[in-house]
Amino acid sequence: MIGTVSRAAQVLQAADRFIILTHRRPDGDTTGSAGALCLALRKAGKTAYVARNAGVTKRYAGLIEPYAPPEGYQPQCVVSVDCADIDMIPPEMQQYAAQVDLVIDHHRSNPGFGRENLVMGQRAACAEIVCAVIEEMGIALDRDIAEGIYVGASTDTGCFKFSNTTSNTHLVAAKCLEAGVDGGEINRALFETKSRARYEIERMLFSSMEFYHEGKIAVALITLEARQRTGADWDDLDAIAGIPRQIEGVEVGLTLTELENGDTKVSVRTTKEVDASAICTQVGGGGHLRAAGATLHCGAEETIQRLLEATERVYRGEA
């Protein structure tokens, strides 16, 4: 494991011809981190690209798609950002999965699947770590680099209001603002603008939500039928997992999304009383103390039962 930011910077400074990997169902942190790192490496005179991610949505496409590699590009150094484990690397990037030279991540559950690994679980966003590495390399933040970092920090902290937000998160955001980023406009676009499909999904969530453990556990299900009927895409579902936790008395919010292949995606959000990662690791997932996730190869009904059992074990102190 790489224990310091300086070591990660040394690895990047010594290499060239980079390809940067993002995770499945990419969010603002993985895309923002990848785009920022790619631009920083180019600014340092390196050849760098971000691998194409088939799952990227229009909300975050602009952060990575301009940096897609040309046909036939052969990288010499593979870097993954915000990938909690090797299974999070999408199928279209699997040719690189077994040869990741440097992992940069902030998930506590990361096993360290790279040749070298910089995993800082105390950071709210991978973008914070990327910012530190860029600075350690002596590369100044410009507006374009800072925009990716700001998006990553903002989205993984719910616009800086989740409990994972730290003083370092705010320091990184301040550096981005000083570099010329329009934080107000970014946050308005990411958190205040909602599609009609998003409103319809939220309405269905509130009307069908179920409660367990004396109201401390809330379960919300987004069915495949609901997604198809409303036309909701992954942009519309972005950050929706935080809704159940907003209800007074709820300590664990379990948001399930039915996938086209029959699997069920689970997002767990908790208050300070419960460890979200402890719940998800029991079902093959992982993540952070207050936000974690997993994908179960079964239907929603079985998934709900397994998640409730896992949550009860955490409450009993058995996990």
Q: What is the pLDDT of residues 161-211, one digit of tens each?
A: 988 999 999 999 999 999 999 999 999 999 888 899 999 999 999 999 999
Identify the bridge partners of residue 258 per DSSP, sorted by sequence position.
264
Q: What is the pLDDT of residues 135-162, one digit of tens each?
A: 999 999 999 999 999 999 999 999 999 8
Query: Comparing C-alpha atoms, which of 285, 288, 277, 265 is closest to residue 314?
Result: 277
pLDDT score of 273 more than 90:
no
Q: What is the pLDDT of residues 34-92, one digit of tens each?
A: 999 999 999 999 999 999 999 999 999 999 999 999 999 999 999 999 999 999 999 99
Q: Following DSSP, what letter does each residue of 116-173 receive, concatenated?
A: EEEE-TT-S-HHHHHHHHHHHTTPPP-HHHHHHHHHHHHHTTTTTTSTT--HHHHHHH
Structure-token pair, residue 1: 């494991």
pLDDT score of 2 more than 90:
no
d(CA 127, CA 30): 8
Residue type, 143: R
pLDDT score of 1 more than 60:
no
d(CA 79, CA 12): 9
Average pLDDT over residues 276-291: 92
pLDDT score for 194? 87
d(CA 4, CA 207): 48
Q: How confident is the model at residue 319 (pLDDT cuts 50, 70, 90)?
A: confident
Stated as kind and residue range, the H or E segment containing 64 is helix 58-64
Mean pLDDT over each residue of the chain, to the nearest integer: 95
Pairing of strands 77-81, 48-50: unpaired
For residue 123, how far is the Cα from the chain centroid? 13
pTM: 0.84
Q: What is the pLDDT of residues 95-126, one digit of tens each?
A: 999 999 999 999 988 999 999 999 999 999 99
Longest dimension (CA), the chain: 58
**C-beta atoms surrounding 206 within 10 Å:** 12
